[in-house]
Structure 1
Amino acid sequence: MDYLTIAIGVVGGIVGVVAFADAVTRRTDAYPAADKQTKTTWLAITGISGVVLVLGMIPGSLLRAPSLLWLAGLVGVLVYLCDVRPRLREVSGGSSSW
């Protein structure tokens, strides 16, 4: 087993769970106010991406890091964390429910 691949898979899984948890805690009205897709859309994107990333933590699985589907999941959560989340924080006054 390649320990670097396992470490990348674990970090990706954690990032996926954090992105989904953050999307859940944001207010529903903040998404349209930030000129982004609806909360339901981002919950689906981060949820499905998070599941793919968590499954990528399993050594020997078809979704292991860095498979193409795993990379697509990583892109989904990174778009949320780097583009959507900052705009949501601006619109909602810089805080979340956390």
Structure 2
Amino acid sequence: MAYSVDPWMREYNEASKLADDITGMMSERSSFGMGPEAQRHSSAIRRKITILGTRLDSLQSLLTKLPAKQPITEKEMNRRRDMLANLRTKVTQMASALYWS
């Protein structure tokens, strides 16, 4: 697919990998117990969630500018919107799980 090399997809793939990294870190959290190491681990997760949120905002901004820079079909635009919305939902769920646990 020609779209797989464009800057938006590259940025999206990096954001998706970061989300997977956060998911892995969250599953490791229980092994740290309740001490200072657990607090450092939770802080690292919070930082990554914040970074990911910023990346998603950037992706949203790029998506609105994309048609002028790179013509894509309406179907592709909708697919990317859905991908972004799904990743944003995942981030929201991870943040909720972190703060409420």
Whose helix fraction is larger, Structure 1's or Structure 2's? 2
Please give the TM-score of this superposition, normalised by the length of structure 1: 0.45
Larger-gyration structure (1/2): 2
